[in-house]
């Protein structure tokens, strides 16, 4: 998900930093480097989802991530973690989404309020609806020269931090409070001259003077102007307001001294830009656009249209990445719409993988996995075995139940699941099992419709293999080759909720099934019925059960995204 960009900044050494939903990228003008969370490294990026970037008074880069808050250490090219997520949760802050620097103080906007950080042992959490923080639901922080720290609140407008009194006080006028009550949100506050501040709203914009009084406003939902659903904003030196839209593209609005405005939606013919979440102008005048799904685009006035610089590191060919595999040798594999590519541990560049026969790029790669020290790729043209040293791939041939060898290129492979001993393959006609010794796949075609999209599997005995899919639990009998759907465990009626099978365990005569979307079911294999169904509200921490495990005391452990149930 490096194509989802949340923020862009430039540090004092000229390097560009891009915050994404799958790591942090650094561009030095020649190469791109990506930092990700490494659980075994103390000084790695705290978390893979990077919410915000900020520079403190000394020019030090701070990061707010899904795993905590830290700052970059240029001398060692790593990160000092200031608060990991466990510490933030302990203090009642929760996840930090934004960091703003103000006169040696870092303000951090978090789930639990505002964290005021002055140093390692000098910080405090200001909780909403208290004397320290009268705001009800603060959702955005700003630092404006000449005004100071401002906080936008969902119910009470814009507030200003009074440094002398050490209190938050109302700043915006009553007219703005009336607009807030119309459910309008402040996306950005941008200085416009010495005594003017532009407030980009989710629909329209306002211009304040330095006392918080509205001196100009543009409200398209009132004035029947062009579509205006903003999620980012920026002002250029020639007084042009750029607004990134949720629905895609950029509005460029002239800001002359009079009331006349020119609103231009940036497009080329019928081609428009993707949804723009971040706008940034570097010291050379280049405009950087962080998008949802198209990575980072860069534009300068010499070009007609922005060029796509990322979604990942240099050399990456994929526009859409479907599968990411960190291999045991340190290499990073990407499967996507245009190629299978690999970045060796010793390199910053991605290299394409070719087919062994015609040197063409291997395209349409849906899933990549590592099985017994082999890289396997499921594609729109079958299953391929990859040689990482020669950067070539060869097809894996198939054998049907009747001993015939169907055309391997006819299978679209969507899913690969390794259980340690076998590699299970979900493909367009059913599923199969890869045998490393023979280098072939036993194809189990013509299975029931509910059993085709394999998500997990395990061999319960010499006779039975249980297959979990996005819609059901199926049992494969190896003695006669039959496949049956277990009644009561199919999810055909709730497939729209994404109730796929995540894990299964056998406990005596019972089959325990974990789901993404509906929790846990316990199935009596002899009676062929569900004897217990449990989810959120009935004892589980979440409806999304990530795995199932039992300990030596017979306890059942169910981890999920929001907690652990025992």
Label residue 76 left, alpha or beta by phi (over 0 means left) and psi (-120 to 50 means alpha): alpha
Distance CA 78, CA 484 (A): 52
Tell me whether domains 5-235 and 457-566 share a fold. Answer: yes
Distance CA 208, CA 293 (A): 34
Q: Which residues contact 74 (CB under 8 A, 6 or more apart)?
A: 13
Sketch the domain layout of the chain as residue ranges: 5-235, 317-446, 457-566
CA atoms within 13 A on the CB side of 489: 32
Going 281 to 287 to 289 to 295, the CA torsion angle's sign is negative
Tokens representing residue 243 in the block: 């607004």
pLDDT tens across the length of the chain (566 residues): 455 888 989 999 888 999 988 889 888 766 778 899 998 899 999 999 999 999 999 999 999 999 999 999 999 999 999 999 999 999 899 999 999 999 889 999 999 999 999 987 889 999 988 888 888 888 889 998 888 899 988 778 889 998 888 899 988 877 787 777 777 788 888 888 767 888 888 888 888 888 888 888 887 766 555 567 788 888 888 788 888 888 777 888 877 654 445 566 677 767 777 888 888 887 788 888 878 777 777 787 777 777 765 444 456 677 666 777 888 888 888 887 778 888 887 776 778 888 766 667 777 888 888 888 889 998 888 888 898 778 888 888 776 555 555 554 556 787 787 766 778 887 766 677 887 777 777 776 667 777 777 777 777 887 888 888 877 888 888 787 788 888 888 654 443 344 678 888 888 888 988 887 778 888 998 888 888 877 755 667 677 787 787 767 777 787 765 566 77
Q: Which residues contact 142 (CB under 8 A, 6 or more apart)?
A: 100, 149, 150, 151, 152, 188, 189
pLDDT of residue 67: 93
Residue 451: DSSP 8-state = G
Residue 64 · residue 97 · CB < 8 Å: yes
Q: In angstroms, what CA-CA distances link 48 with 9, 183, 272, 487?
A: 18, 32, 29, 40
Distance CA 98, CA 354 (A): 43
pLDDT of residue 89: 92
Distance CA 126, CA 128 (A): 7
Cβ atoms within 10 Å, residue 117: 21
pLDDT of residue 262: 58
Tokens representing residue 154 in the block: 């969902």
pLDDT of residue 65: 95
Q: Which CATH architecture has domain 317-446?
A: 7 Propeller (2.130)
Chain-centroid distance, C-alpha 375: 25
Out of 1.10.620.20, 3.60.110.10, 1.10.1040.50, 2.130.10.10, which CATH number does the structure's domain 457-566 have? 2.130.10.10
Q: Quick one: which H or E segment has residue 113? A: strand 113-119
Q: Which residues contact 76 (CB under 8 A, 6 or more apart)?
A: 43
CATH topology for the 5-235 domain: Methylamine Dehydrogenase; Chain H (2.130.10)
Distance CA 28, CA 7 (A): 17
pLDDT of residue 311: 46
pLDDT of residue 506: 85
Residue by residue, DSSP assigns 20-61 as ETTEEEEE-SS-EEEE---TT-TTS-S-SSEEEEEE-TT--E
Q: Which residues contact 475 (CB under 8 A, 6 or more apart)?
A: 464, 465, 466, 467, 483, 484, 486
Where are the alpha helices (H) located in 358-458, listed in sequence order?
none
CA neighbor of 182 nearest in space, from 140, 217, 133? 217
Count of positions (residues) in the chain: 566
Q: Quick one: which H or E segment has residue 530? A: strand 529-534
């Amino acid at each position: 998900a490096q194509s989802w960009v949340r923020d862009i900044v430039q540090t004092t050494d000229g390097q560009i930093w891009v915050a994404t939903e799958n790591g942090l990228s650094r561009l030095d003008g020649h190469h791109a480097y990506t930092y990700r969370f490494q659980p075994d490294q103390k000084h790695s990026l705290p978390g893979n989802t990077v919410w915000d970037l900020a520079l403190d008074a000394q020019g030090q880069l701070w990061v707010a991530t899904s795993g905590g808050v830290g700052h970059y250490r240029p001398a060692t090219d790593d990160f000092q973690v200031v608060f990991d997520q466990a510490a933030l949760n302990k203090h009642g802050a929760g996840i930090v989404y934004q960091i703003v620097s103000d006169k040696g103080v870092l303000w951090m906007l978090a789930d639990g309020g505002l964290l005021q950080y002055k140093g390692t042992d000098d910080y405090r959490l200001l909780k909403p609806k208290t004397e320290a923080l009268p705001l009800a639901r603060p959702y955005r922080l700003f630092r404006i020269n000449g005004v100071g720290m401002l906080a936008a609140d969902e119910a009470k407008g814009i507030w200003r931090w009074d440094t002398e009194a050490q209190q938050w006080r109302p700043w915006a006028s009553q007219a703005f409070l009336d607009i807030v009550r119309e459910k309008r949100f402040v996306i950005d506050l941008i200085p416009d001259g010495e005594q003017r501040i532009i407030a980009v709203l989710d629909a329209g914009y306002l211009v304040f003077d330095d006392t918080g009084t509205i001196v100009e406003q543009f409200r398209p939902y009132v004035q029947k102007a062009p579509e205006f659903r903003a999620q980012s904003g920026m002002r250029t030196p020639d007084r042009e307001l750029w607004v990134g839209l949720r629905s895609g593209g950029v509005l460029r609005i002239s800001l002359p001294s009079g009331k006349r405005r020119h609103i231009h939606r940036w497009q080329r013919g019928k081609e428009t830009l993707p949804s723009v979440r971040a706008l940034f102008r570097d010291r050379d005048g280049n405009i950087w656009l962080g998008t949802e799904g198209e990575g980072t685009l860069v534009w300068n006035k010499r070009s007609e249209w922005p060029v796509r610089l990322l979604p990942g590191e240099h050399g990456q060919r994929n526009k859409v990445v479907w599968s990411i595999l960190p291999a045991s040798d340190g290499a990073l594999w990407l499967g996507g719409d245009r190629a299978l590519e690999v970045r060796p541990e010793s390199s910053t560049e991605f290299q394409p993988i070719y087919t062994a026969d015609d040197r063409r790029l291997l395209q349409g790669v849906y899933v990549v996995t590592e099985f017994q020290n082999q890289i396997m790729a499921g594609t729109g043209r079958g299953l391929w075995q990859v040689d990482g040293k020669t950067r070539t791939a060869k097809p894996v041939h198939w054998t049907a139940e009747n001993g015939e060898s169907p055309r391997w290129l006819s299978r679209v492979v969507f899913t690969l699941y390794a259980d340690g001993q076998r590699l299970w393959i979900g493909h367009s006609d059913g599923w199969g099992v890869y045998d490393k010794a023979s280098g072939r796949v036993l194809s189990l075609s013509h299975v029931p419709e509910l059993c085709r999209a394999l998500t997990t599997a395990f061999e319960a005995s010499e006779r039975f293999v249980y297959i979990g899919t996005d819609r059901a639990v199926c049992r494969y009998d190896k003695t006669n080759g039959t496949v049956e759907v277990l009644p009561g465990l199919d999810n055909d009626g709730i497939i729209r909720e994404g109730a796929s099978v995540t894990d299964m365990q056998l406990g005596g005569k019972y089959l325990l099934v974990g789901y993404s979307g509906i929790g846990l079911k316990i199935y009596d294999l002899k009676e062929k019925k569900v004897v217990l169904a449990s989810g959120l509200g009935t004892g589980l921490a979440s409806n999304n059960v990530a795995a199932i495990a039992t300990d030596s005391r017979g306890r059942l452990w169910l981890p999920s995204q929001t907690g652990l149930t025992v």
